[in-house]
Amino acid sequence: MSRIRRLTKTIQVYRNEQAVPIDFSLPGDVSECFGVQAMIVGIIPTNKTVIPVFGEYSLEFEGKKIHPVNFIVPFTKQEVFSDQTQFRPGMLPLQVPIKENRLVTGYYRDLGEQDIHSPEVFQPYKVRFTFHLHTV
- Kindly report the length of the chain: 136
pLDDT of residue 91: 86
pLDDT of residue 63: 87
pLDDT of residue 48: 84
CATH code where residue 79 lies: 2.60.120
The sheet carrying 66-76 orders its strands as 19-25, 103-110, 50-61, 66-76
pLDDT tens sequence across 13-43 = 999 999 999 999 999 999 999 999 999 998 8
Residue numbers of the chain with a pLDDT score lower than 70: 79-89, 117-119
pLDDT of residue 85: 46
Predicted TM-score (pTM) of this structure: 0.88
Please give the residue range of the domain that contains residue 123.
Answer: 3-135
Our count of domains for the chain comes to 1
